[in-house]
Structure 1
Amino acid sequence: MQFALPPRRNLDAPLHGRSSRLSLQRRKQLKAAAILGFALLVIYFLLSQLFYSSTGTPAAPAGTPSLVIVTVLDRARWSRDYIQRITKNRDDYAKRHGYTNFFANLTDYEPTLDNAPRSWSVVPAVRHAMASHPHSKYFFYLDAHALIMNPSKSLESHLLQRSHLDSLMLKDVPVVPPDSIIKTFSHLQPQDVDLILTADNEDLSSGCFVIRQGDFAQTFLDIWFDPLYRGYNFAKAEVHALDHIVQWHPTILARLALVPQRTINAYSKDSSGAGVDGNYKDGDLVIRLFGCDTDTKRSCEKEMEPYYRLWSKTIEK
């Protein structure tokens, strides 16, 4: 009985010739796919940087102001001339540096205050401004009883540039003067700052400050406006609430820079309580008529008159 023999193999042919050719082709395909994938990742990254900010929020549309000046006006009580002077002063400054203004009406926030002092309106006003300008980076709250006296100084060059802010930050000093046991962080870096405050000789100031848009700002403003604080009957309302929050919430203190008072909050000669070297001098950015609205012996409009005339001459040059 005979059995069929298998076909004779060509012993001279390579054992894996066909498979080797297929492997080489496969490697080429994988290499091409890897290059294409890497190119797509690069394109995606570049587009994400173009359309999104570093915080993961949509980048600002063209023409968005980098900074918003927030001022609360009591149109029901103040004269039209007084309000016009305040708005003209802010508008001139904003126009010079590409900022914008948010003029809030105090009466709009009274229903949210729950019978707390009207000075609490600073908090919902800043929140309102942030909601109205979601793509702006900084918000400069400026008390209405204050004037910008040196319009040539931008907030960036005067305060916000990292190198300049680093030189201004008061580190390892009592947060609330004169002798708070809680001190500002000595290792804080300018890029980590979300809130810039000043202090007079007794308290932190709620009348002039800068805050950066973001999660920190929302959290901080929510804490500050908590009904517990509004109803606690602090002697100085939102000011003492601010003192308390900054001292006993390290997460807030960790994002706060304290700067010399005259940087953005110089007091007029008629204002008591200025800190060391806290009274206005020629060339300062801001003069604030602190207390003019609570002292019955003073008049905000009369006190502003000479400073407004001086400012008017400055912008005419």
Structure 2
Amino acid sequence: MHFALPPRKTSKPPPYLPRSTRLPGLRKTRLKLVALVALVFLALIFLVTQPSSSRHSAPVQRVPRGDPPVVLVTVLDEGKYGRSLTKSVVENRLQYAEKHGYKTLIAKVGDYDLKGAPFTWTAVVAMRHALTKYPDCRYVWFLDSSGFIMNPKLKIEEHVMRPSRLDELMKKDFPVVPPDSIIKTFSHLKGQDVDLVLTQDKGGLSSGSLIVRNGEWAKFFLETWFDPLYRSYNFQKAETHALEHIVQWHPTILARMAIIDQRVINSYSNGDKEAEYKDGDLAVRFPQCPAAGVEACEAETESFVQAWRRAFADS
């Protein structure tokens, strides 16, 4: 009987051929592609399901609640106006603020480090301080210590800052610095877009009584105004001339600024007929007082002090 013999093993086996790695490589590539497609698909679903306002609107800025409606800012300089008059100014501000639910920020010359700049720059720092201390206020009204609030019945948010009222008050296409500045106020500006309200006198813009609407623009404006370059430039009228410069050379500021008649917030005790105080005006200022001296200043203001006290007592 014959049995089949197993195949003879050769002493020269065939060369070793490694397994092909092509197939696993293809699998990895496909997995990556599938993962990428899935991510894109999920991203599209996320975008489609989001509200249109969240996809297209700009970041929402914080809107002050209007608590308090107004912060009344004044910087005292007893050396210029004397103790008696300074005391009357503080009393005047506190009574007016209490009547309307406003707050006050009453600073003194020397309260802030101005890095060697003239003390009149304190006004700008005090306004910045007011926005920090009362972040939800709606307006800041700066009224310097040379004046009194004479009509306690008038409220800033209605007498000046109401949009329809501003539409009536503001001077459009009007020279920023009188009499013939080539830079003029915007002709198409609406009251609702105004963030800074100023007046002029014969010398130019007046910084003794102004109103700023609280918000991101107000912070930008005050930071620009207080720039170290302007403080060190040695303007003749310090912060007032710096203000005239920035409103003429910064369109971002000019675009939010309104100039109104002087008597609305900034009557003078004497001067031109258009500027001179009349009964019923909101405020009166005495810009010549410092040059006249303390005694002359007290004499000039005495009748007005009596008048505002009577007006407040009757209101």
TM-score, L = length of structure 2 = 0.77
Shift of 1:300: 2.6
**Aligned residues of 1:293 and 1:299 also touching (Cα < 8 A):** no
Shift of 1:82: 2.2
Aligned to 1:300: 297
1:232 aligns with 2:233: yes
**Aligned residues of 1:117 and 1:237 also touching (Cα < 8 A):** yes
Matched residue of 2:176: which SS? coil
Aligned to 1:91: 94
Shift of 1:79: 4.1
Shift of 1:76: 6.2
1:290 aligns with 2:287: yes
**Aligned residues of 2:124 and 2:226 also touching (Cα < 8 A):** yes
1:69 aligns with 2:72: yes
Shift of 1:105: 1.8
Shift of 1:72: 0.6
* C-alpha distance in structure 1 between counterparts of 2:63 and 2:165, whole Å: 28
After superposition, residues 179-218 of structure 1 pair within 5 angstroms as 179-218=180-219
Matched residue of 1:160: which SS? coil
**Aligned residues of 1:292 and 1:298 also touching (Cα < 8 A):** no
Shift of 1:55: 5.5
After superposition, residues 111-130 of structure 1 pair within 5 angstroms as 111-112=113-114, 114-130=115-131
Identical pairs, percent: 47
Shift of 1:298: 7.1
1:56 aligns with 2:61: yes
**Aligned residues of 1:145 and 1:300 also touching (Cα < 8 A):** no
* C-alpha distance in structure 2 between counterparts of 1:89 and 1:72, whole Å: 13
Change over 3 Å in CA distance of 1:304–1:297 after alignment to 2: closer
Shift of 1:81: 2.8
After superposition, residues 1-317 of structure 1 pair within 5 angstroms as 56-57=61-62, 60=65, 64-75=67-78, 79-109=82-112, 111-112=113-114, 114-269=115-270, 277-296=274-293, 299-317=296-314
Cα offsets for 1:265-309 (capped at 9, x unmatched) = 01111xx5x5x6011111110000013113459733222211001
Matched residue of 1:198: which SS? strand
Structure 1 runs not aligned, ≥5 long: 1-36, 46-53
Amino acid aligned to 2:102? Y
TM-score, L = length of structure 1 = 0.76
**Aligned residues of 2:81 and 2:294 also touching (Cα < 8 A):** no
Amino acid aligned to 1:279? E
Aligned to 2:44: none
- Aligned-pair RMSD on alpha carbons? 2.4
* C-alpha distance in structure 2 between counterparts of 1:82 and 1:249, whole Å: 38
* C-alpha distance in structure 1 between counterparts of 2:84 and 2:167, whole Å: 40
**Aligned residues of 2:81 and 2:289 also touching (Cα < 8 A):** no
Structure 2 runs not aligned, ≥5 long: 1-48
Matched residue of 2:284: which SS? strand
With CA pairs under 8 Å and 6+ residues apart, which has the higher RCO, 1 or 2? 2
Q: Aligned residues, how many? A: 261
Amino acid aligned to 1:280? Y
Larger C-alpha radius of gyration, 1 or 2? 2
* C-alpha distance in structure 2 between counterparts of 1:120 and 1:231, whole Å: 11
* C-alpha distance in structure 2 between counterparts of 1:210 and 1:253, whole Å: 14
